[in-house]
Chains A and B, each alone.
Chain A
């Protein structure tokens, strides 16, 4: 039997799954742009932003919402080997498994796609594209030119990746969605919704605006950092709950524990 704070702590484990998705105004706006862009005759859609801004989460949500209605494939982890990548694309398109001793020829795959033109349109969601090699990116670009495959790709926002975006896709990407860290208001909604979704209304109510402000000051509104921070906070709570329950109050969110977690994560020099 898990303790109360252990359960709350586990809410903030950073995992990309449908149940972890929290609907925020900005995320909903970005999602609507993303969904609409799939209806347009675009070859590629670029989703970019700093790590922890919710790109993978948005991609995951898109996949789960659309998988019943259209042909959509989600590569949540980057397939770095070109051989494996082409195999995965072909297997997804043809619904056939290729024997291990065989490989997919890129020209053949292009021809295969060209034959499907105007008959089918598949969407491939590729996460962490900054890890793909330039050669593979070029192949992705060429595959998108067939207009049979539409790619939605995510990139971490750094100088290098901006170059990738500029050089490879400037003529092809018609929709660019930039993901940003949350402001204080969004962060408050995010934390509250995440806890309320799992039934921890009372604990959620103890977190006041000043606490959110403090959390935001340290995490800069980055969702991954926020998850990490809250995980550590409730980890400390869990310790007290199990060992020294008199030292924590259920009515008030402890500033001391907030600061202790900040020290633990190195946000504060102590």
Chain B
């Protein structure tokens, strides 16, 4: 039986998940973007300023101070001075470039990448959770399942079916006994059917199968006898046989109940 209220609750949870997971994903993404922005611009800027100033004074300031104090360059010849000048011309540019690029590209970007990757992963995984289209195990009989059923049937042929022992209330037993007595006197198919139903209700499927057959033999137009017989077969594990019986009944009578029952057996409701 379909429990719609329970299903509604599950649906409500599903909708909540659908609504909140993108919001959570978005906030995580915003956080990551914000933090990476902080590292690249604010924090990165401080780091470059700190490293720029002392290095530049160290590289350029010393030569200027030397030039100012002496006015001449006593230890170096012209060619070497020119060479140094050339180097000096080149060096600061390189240093500045290195200083401005070094801390930003290799460090921040890698972190950023990792974080973005992490965000993508979480987004992907939440996406997967919410819109997952999972292949559902088929309720209908596949070839393998049919093969298993036939195997089970073969085994059942060898070993007699063992019915579960159940406790019965005295009223049920009395009822069955009463109907049995009635049937023995009247031999009416309707009473045989009542017995079949009672046994089916009590979980004695072997007996319900037998009585349904008896009812059917007496009156094969008794639709219920077909249905109880088929249902008992299903309960005894002979699903395929039950379907065969119902299909043949349906072909003759076009009964909507039979059609419905076929559907229920196929989807495993019985």
Whether B2 pairs with A131 at a CB distance below 8 angstroms is no
CB-CB under 8 A from B134, the residues of chain A are 266-269
Task: State in angstroms the CA–CA spacing of A52 and B138 once bound together.
Answer: 10
- A15, A131, A264, A270: the one within 8 Å of B263 (CB): A15
In this assembly, does B228 line the interface, its C-beta being within 8 Å of a C-beta of chain A? no
Contact B139 A228 (CB under 8 A): yes
Enumerate chain A residues within 8 angstroms of B250, measured Cβ to Cβ: 15, 17
Residues of the A chain whose Cβ atoms lie less than 8 Å from the Cβ of B17: 270
Would you call B76 an interface residue if the criterion is a C-beta within 8 Å of the partner chain's C-beta atoms? Answer: no
CB-CB under 8 A from A178, the residues of chain B are: none
| Contact string against B for A residues 253-270, beta-carbon threshold 8 Å, 1 for contact and 0 otherwise | 000100110011111111
Nearest-CB residue, chain B, relative to A20: B259
When distances are taken between beta carbons in the complex, the residues of chain B under 8 Å from A131 are 143, 146-147, 150
The reply to whether B267 and A228 contact each other, CB–CB distance below 8 Å, is: yes
Smallest CB gap from B4: residue in A: A239
Q: Are A263 and B14 in contact, with the CB atoms below 8 A? A: yes
**Separation of A73 and B14 alpha carbons in the complex (Å):** 50
Q: In this assembly, does A193 line the interface, its C-beta being within 8 Å of a C-beta of chain B?
A: no
Query: Residue-by-residue, is A232-270 near B (CB-CB < 8 Å gives 1, otherwise 0)?
Result: 000110011001000000000000100110011111111
B146–A51 contact, CB under 8 A?
Answer: no
Give the residues in chain B near A128, CB-CB below 8 Å.
Answer: 143, 146
Q: How large is the interface on B (under 10, 10 to 19, 20 to 34, 35 or more residues)?
A: 35 or more
Kindly state the separation between the CA atoms of A263 and B14 in the bound complex, as whole angstroms.
9
Residues in B neighbouring A235, C-beta threshold 8 A: 2
Q: Chain B residues with Cβ under 8 A from A33's Cβ?
A: none
Determine whether B251 belongs to the interface, using a CB cutoff of 8 Å to chain A.
yes
Q: Which of A76, A236, A265 contacts B136 (CB 8 A)?
A: A265
Contact with A along B5-33 (1 / 0, CB 8 A): 00110110111010000000000000000
Shortest Cβ distance from B188 into chain A, in angstroms?
29
A210-229 CB mask vs B (1 if < 8 Å, else 0) is: 00000001100000110010
Within 8 A of A (CB), among B229-260: 240, 243-244, 247, 250-251, 256, 259-260
Interface mask (B127-151 → A, CB under 8 Å = 1, otherwise 0): 0010111101111101100110010
When C-beta atoms are compared, the residue in chain B nearest to A224 turns out to be: B140
Q: Which residues of B contact A13 (CB under 8 A)?
A: 259-260, 262-263
Give chain B's interface secondary structure class. helix
- What's the nearest-Cβ distance from chain B to residue A265, in Å? 6
Does any Cβ of B come within 8 Å of A205's Cβ?
no
User: B266 in the interface, Cβ–Cβ < 8 Å?
Assistant: yes
The complex places the Cα of A225 from the Cα of B150 at a distance, in Å, of: 24
State which residues 174-223 of B face A: CB under 8 Å. none
The docked-state distance in angstroms from the alpha carbon of A78 to that of B240 is 10
- Bound together, the chains give a CA A2 to CA B257 distance in angstroms of 11
Cβ contact within 8 Å between B143 and A51: yes
The reply to whether B262 and A156 contact each other, CB–CB distance below 8 Å, is no
- Expressed in whole angstroms, the Cα–Cα distance for A128 and B136 within the complex equals 22
> Across the interface, do B263 and A130 meet the contact criterion of CB distance under 8 Å?
no
- Residues from chain B with a CB closer than 8 A to the CB of A256 are 11
Complexed CA–CA distance, A217 and B262 (Å): 27
- Using known A-B contacts A13-B259, A236-B2, determine if residue A266 contacts B136 with beta carbons closer than 8 Å: yes
**CB-based contact B4/A218 at 8 Å:** no
Kindly state whether residue A231 has any CB partner on chain B within 8 Å.
Answer: yes
Give 12 CB contacts A-B under 8 Å: A13-B259, A15-B259, A51-B143, A77-B240, A218-B133, A228-B139, A228-B140, A236-B4, A243-B4, A264-B2, A270-B11, A270-B17
Residues of chain B whose beta carbon lies under 8 Å from any beta carbon of chain A: 2, 4, 7-8, 10-11, 13-15, 17, 129, 131-134, 136-140, 142-143, 146-147, 150, 240, 243-244, 247, 250-251, 256, 259-260, 262-263, 266-267
